[in-house]
Amino acid sequence: MTQPIDAAKPDIRPARQGLMSRISFVWLVPVLALAISLGVAWQSYSDRGVLIQIGFDNATGIETGKTQLRYRDVTVGTVERVTFSEDLSQVLAHVRVENDVAGFIDSDAQFWVVRPQVSVRGISGLGTVLSGVYINGTWDNAVSTPETRFTGLGNAPLVGPDAKGTSIVLRARNGNQLAAGAPIVYKGIRVGSIEAPVLTPTGSAVVTNGFIEAPYDVFITSATRFWDTSGFSLSLGAGGVKLDVDSLASLVEGGVTFETLVSGGTPVDSGAIFPIYESESLARNSLFQDADADLLSVAAEFDGSVGGLVAGSEVRFRGIKVGEVSGLTMTAEKTGTRRSVRLLAAMQLRPGSLGLGLDASKDEALILLRDYVAQGLRARLTSANILTGALIVELVELPQEPPEVFEANAKPYPLIPSVDANLSDFNATAEGVFKRINGLKVEELIAAATSALDSVTVLASSDGTKAVLPELTKTLEEARLVLADLREADAGAKVTSALSSAEGAAKAVETAAARLPALAEQLERLTLRTETVVASYGEQSRLISSAMDALRNISEAADSLQSLARAIQRNPNSLLLGR
């Protein structure tokens, strides 16, 4: 082949040799891309978190890829799949949890589905109406062996595992006044809440978990008593009518309150069981019925009716409550041929209340009672409330009574001798009142009043009274005549001239008075000026303060002058007439 055209002058260089010339540098791009892709893939694989399974009864609202797992309202995972458990008993939500929290999700983690809820305390989870439900999780902030299989809760738990406080178990006779989330209130402050009540396995009672939040759980001791404050309670007792209404919320959803009624209780551990009494009085009574409480049981026998005395009635000593009646029993007795029935009132006294100090023992109290009885201490029924007829037991000192012995070894309880009920006193009193009312001479009074009225009538209709009137008429007539005489004697003109001169005087006074406001004003100006001068001197010195006093007097004088002037202007005659 020929070269028909002249080519440009060649620039000849040796061909490049080596590996680099055989392989294009562009290969770096796919290698780099591959490296990056693999790196990203590895990272997303290792970052994708831990898969945990949460079992629920149903999957209402749970959506694959959308439903989130939240911890303290921060999304920490997403539901990847929803499957059934092996036996179809549960729905398993497979949740991919972020790595940094997965370590905390251990056996104490709790999960529940948050749905919109309307309760007495308000509406919660409203946001989930639009956004769909989410799974809320709670766990403590300690890393321990992670778990992957959990059972979701039906309802939000009362407290998270990291909440500080004491959980207790409350037992109630029935649960119809307790709702999940009902508050536990202490002196009106909400200090905790209760979970949904459940029946005990035997069905004999209802138990519910309660939780007392941290700073307040110190108030719970073994001597604490809980009672139900649901709704309102109306009681008619020795203290009269008592109506308790707690907050409206507790009226609807129930509530529990507590009080540590006696000192000396020991702190309780989590899980301690407390009964819920139906009312405050029952809770208080329970203290006296407690076998373990350091109470002294005594008894007293009464004759006659004890209607009005019930378990829980007070036992008073010199007007102070020292215990309560714990029960009433009847014992039939046979003295000779005559049968009689005596009523035994068992009482429980608090040794501490008898004046022996808080840590008094029962024995000390027994000795004290023995000495008292020797001095004439007796148990006596007394009426506590006229309206209700409630009775209380009163320990009275009656030294004039024949001496009796305190039967410390009597069965079932040491026996305090009794005296006849003091009811007669009351009856006597009432009778006295009625007697006095009866004694009021109402009829005589009425008779007297009637007779007084009668006398008035008689007086009015008597001849003397009638005679007075014409005389009066006559006197008036005479007065008229005198006046007419006066007129005729030109007394009138004289009086007129006297009046006119008086008027002239009043005019003079008026013109004088017209100048009064100016004077008052001047005075006031002076006062003001002086005041500013004085103020510029400062207010400390005594001279100044007395000067201020003087000024105040002057300004008061000016005020009176002004009011005088005003009065004169309005009614000049007042100067003359003094009104």
Partner 1 sequence: MMTARTAGFVACDRCGLVYGQDSAICTRCGSVLASRAPLSLQRTMAWLIAGLIAYLPANIYPMLLTSTLFERQESTIVEGVVDLVHHGSYGVAFIVFFASIVIPLGKFMAMFYLVFAVRRHWALKSQQRHVMLEIVEFIGRWSMIDVFVVAILSALVQLDTVATINPGVAAVSFALSVVFTMLAAQSLDPRLIWDEAETEAEAEARA
Smallest gap, in angstroms, from Cβ of residue 255 to partner 1? 37
Smallest gap, in angstroms, from Cβ of residue 29 to partner 1? 4
| 8 counts as binding partner 1 under rule CB under 8 A | yes
Closer to partner 1 by Cβ: residue 41 or 481 = 41
User: What's the rounded Cα separation, in Å, for the pair 395 and 323?
Assistant: 11
Are the C-beta atoms of residues 194 and 184 closer than 8 Å to each other? yes
| 126 counts as binding partner 1 under rule CB under 8 A | no
Q: Exactly one of 9, 72, 338, 570 binds partner 1 (CB under 8 A); which one? A: 9
Closer to partner 1 by Cβ: residue 65 or 470 = 65
Q: Exactly one of 66, 435, 507, 529 binds partner 1 (CB under 8 A); which one? A: 66
- Residue in the block written with tokens 């309880």: 413
Q: Exactly one of 99, 131, 247, 457 binds partner 1 (CB under 8 A); which one? A: 131
Q: CA separation (Å) from 479 to 471, 484, 487, 531, 560?
A: 13, 9, 13, 63, 44
| 73 counts as binding partner 1 under rule CB under 8 A | no
Smallest gap, in angstroms, from Cβ of residue 32 to partner 1? 8
Closer to partner 1 by Cβ: residue 2 or 540 = 2
Give the β-pairing of 256-260 and 377-383.
unpaired
DSSP string covering 325-374: EEEEEEEEEEETTEEEEEEEEEEEE-GGGGTT-TT--HHHHHHHHHHHHH
Q: Exactly one of 55, 132, 237, 376 binds partner 1 (CB under 8 A); which one? A: 132
Segment near partner 1 (CB under 8 A); pick from 7-15, 140-148, 266-274, 449-457? 7-15
User: What's the rounded Cα separation, in Å, for the pair 165 and 184?
Assistant: 13
Site for partner 1 in 22-51 (CB under 8 A): 22-24, 26-30, 32-34, 37, 40
Tokens coding 173: 């006779």
Smallest gap, in angstroms, from Cβ of residue 61 to partner 1? 13
Smallest gap, in angstroms, from Cβ of residue 132 to partner 1? 8
Segment near partner 1 (CB under 8 A); pick from 1-9, 141-149, 278-286, 378-386? 1-9
Closer to partner 1 by Cβ: residue 130 or 460 = 130
Closer to partner 1 by Cβ: residue 1 or 330 = 1
Closer to partner 1 by Cβ: residue 34 or 491 = 34
Smallest gap, in angstroms, from Cβ of residue 76 to partner 1? 15
Closer to partner 1 by Cβ: residue 12 or 291 = 12
Tokens coding 199: 């029946």
Segment near partner 1 (CB under 8 A); pick from 9-17, 147-155, 404-412, 427-435? 9-17
Q: CA separation (Å) from 396 to 145, 393, 413?
A: 69, 9, 19
Closer to partner 1 by Cβ: residue 1 or 499 = 1
**Nearest CA to 413 among 290, 296, 299, 292?**
299
**Nearest CA to 230 among 242, 213, 247?**
247
The count of residues interacting with partner 1 (CB under 8 A) is 29
Are the C-beta atoms of residues 502 and 576 closer than 8 Å to each other? yes
DSSP string covering 269-319: -TTEEEEEESSHHHHHHHHHH-SSS--EEEEEEE-S--TT--TT-EEEETT
Non-local (6+) Cβ contacts of 225 within 8 A are 258, 259, 260, 261, 274, 277, 283, 284, 286, 287
Site for partner 1 in 98-117 (CB under 8 A): none
Q: CA separation (Å) from 449 to 279, 381, 445, 452?
A: 57, 46, 6, 5
Closer to partner 1 by Cβ: residue 15 or 468 = 15
Chain residues in the site for partner 1 (CB under 8 A): 1, 3-5, 7-13, 15, 22-24, 26-30, 32-34, 37, 40, 66, 130-132
